[in-house]
Chain A
Amino acid sequence: NAGVTQTPKFQVLKTGQSMTLQCAQDMNHNSMYWYRQDPGMGLRLIYYSASEGTTDKGEVPNGYNVSRLNKREFSLRLESAAPSQTSVYFCASSEPPLATDTQYFGPGTRLTVL
């Protein structure tokens, strides 16, 4: 039982390059989330998927797209990376309702955009 897994663990991109961050969970959770963590800013929600087939914007969605591929997988895509997207990205999952259930986090992806 791996919980929430994320790939890759580290990535360096040049400005303008694209990439997809992968997330998978084996807890049969319906809801999944993408966050970014920046020093002094805490954890900010980028996008979430309350259930398979739905996605919604969070606090900081600009410059990102997501795909809920199936119940297990939720990917985050940067189409044209910018230095401002240098951050640590976390995926999480939970059961609905969104407001009350415990979220389980992956180990994170550390992304640097040069």
Chain B
Amino acid sequence: AQSVAQPEDQVNVAEGNPLTVKCTYSVSGNPYLFWYVQYPNRGLQFLLKYITGDNLVKGSYGFEAEFNKSQTSFHLKKPSALVSDSALYFCAVSSYSGNTPLVFGKGTRLSVIA
């Protein structure tokens, strides 16, 4: 069975500082990893995904994530946070061995303070 953990319920960062939102996963077989963002009263929006290839994945709005197989992690990062980045962020994992849908983490609320 696949699972994903987001160890922080809330992350606070000052505007202009780098931000990191953490995600670790557990799957049998090769993992496929996703980040989604949810703004207030909206549905989830896709940010980026890792399927194969380069461990550093670049996505929308200046976000990137690094796949680390040895640490089973896929942390989301951005070099310089904006107030508009404040939202709920979800990490998700799947595995092609079962071709089953994504399993989502519980989410991390990011607050960027001006």
A residues apposed to B, CB below 8 Å: 4, 33, 35, 40-45, 48, 58-59, 90, 92, 97-100, 102-108
Contact assessment for A43 and B43 in the assembled complex, using a CB-CB cutoff below 8 Å: no
B34: which A residues are within 8 A, CB to CB?
Answer: 102
How many residue pairs, one in A and one in B, have C-beta atoms under 8 Å apart? 65
Contact assessment for A98 and B94 in the assembled complex, using a CB-CB cutoff below 8 Å: yes
Q: Contacts A4-B43, A90-B44, A97-B96 hold; do A103 and B107 have CB atoms under 8 A apart?
A: no
The 7 A-B residue pairs whose C-beta atoms are closest, nearest first, are: A105-B43, A42-B106, A99-B94, A43-B104, A105-B44, A99-B96, A102-B46
Q: Chain B, 86-114, contact with A by CB distance < 8 Å: what is the 0/1 string?
A: 00001000111011111111110000000
Q: How far is the CA of A4 from the CA of B107 in the complex (A)?
A: 22
B residues apposed to A, CB below 8 Å: 9, 32, 34, 36, 41-46, 49, 51, 90, 94-96, 98-107
Of A42, A99, A100, which contacts B107 at CB under 8 A?
A42
A48: which B residues are within 8 A, CB to CB?
Answer: 101
Contact assessment for A99 and B49 in the assembled complex, using a CB-CB cutoff below 8 Å: no
Contact assessment for A97 and B99 in the assembled complex, using a CB-CB cutoff below 8 Å: yes
